[in-house]
Homo-oligomer: A and B are copies of this chain.
């Protein structure tokens, strides 16, 4: 299970299980000289916290972040930044009833097969609780990107079968409604659908869209480490994500080249494009326009509706998941998408500085 690290030069390693005493992460490779405090991280942790809406888990997670290393006088030193939060309200007792049942849509069965046993308390490493560590790491990456003028903003594009209407886009809504939907009408429909799903003991999925602004041209590496490929891995590694697409995405597959190609022109000396079907990425490299992508989240597999499944000793059975689970994961997942985008971008931005000798010579030997 050596998959708990992401990144090459700007890296994060996460650790901890949903029902242990604490969880945390270590960011290694963050440049020195960046002002950082716990509030920068806490703000994003709050966005991830359950309880933001009546349709989120009722589990209490204060998630008070402690930074254990890597700062001196409030500024990064270049040393690893270790962060942790306690698991305040881990009721392991909730899980003993399912210790021998493989929950449908969960990783129970595959963990047992892979490791010969599993920590059945809350899903262990497969728990969405792990994403809190990504949010901590991502908040550090965002601070670094902020120094470069790069911004990352995600929101809910759809929840269940309710999609926003782009002609009614209202970005101010994102911070206002607890679902993070930039369309008040769609939000209200989604609330109704969520209420119905909750009443049914069922759950809803949705799509998160993310826009990255302020990136210069040249970020992303050719061939295997294309910006889209690295961002793609980052986002597909989030629990419950089943698909990712950039720019026009799957819709581009049914366009013709003449329609899909983004025509370029200079307008008063400034480069502009007639469209951004590529989502700001050509040949895997940023062109300086906005990067846009979408991630599809399946509905949370933990539902109280009775489901057909099996036991770990070879019998058929059924299960109804009790516990405190989210019927709606998209609202809390928005900041996780931002975090993974930030971690991928921080790493790729660093790497892009090494592309050509004239850039390198400009700073070589001029560190201080």
Report whether A229 and B222 are in contact in the complex, using a CB–CB cutoff of 8 Å: no
List the B side residues contacting A28 at CB < 8 Å.
1-5, 13, 15
List the B side residues contacting A303 at CB < 8 Å.
257-258, 261
List the B side residues contacting A283 at CB < 8 Å.
106-107, 110-111, 123, 126, 239
In the assembled complex, the Cα of A123 lies from the Cα of B79 at a distance in Å of 12
Report whether B243 and A250 are in contact in the complex, using a CB–CB cutoff of 8 Å: yes
A242 smallest CB distance to B (angstroms) = 5
In the assembled complex, the Cα of A99 lies from the Cα of B348 at a distance in Å of 28
Which residue of chain B has its CB nearest to the CB of A11? B2
Which residue of chain B has its CB nearest to the CB of A350? B354
A165 at the interface (CB under 8 A from B): no
**Which of A114, A118, A260 has the largest count of B CB atoms less than 10 A from its CB?**
A114
A50-58, A169-177, A179-187, A272-280: which lies at the interface: A272-280
Which residue of chain B has its CB nearest to the CB of A311? B266
Q: Which of B26, B258, B301 contacts A307 (CB 8 A)?
A: B258
Which residue of chain B has its CB nearest to the CB of A72? B119
A44 at the interface (CB under 8 A from B): no
List the B side residues contacting A301 at CB < 8 Å.
257, 260-261
A355 smallest CB distance to B (angstroms) = 5
List the B side residues contacting A288 at CB < 8 Å.
113
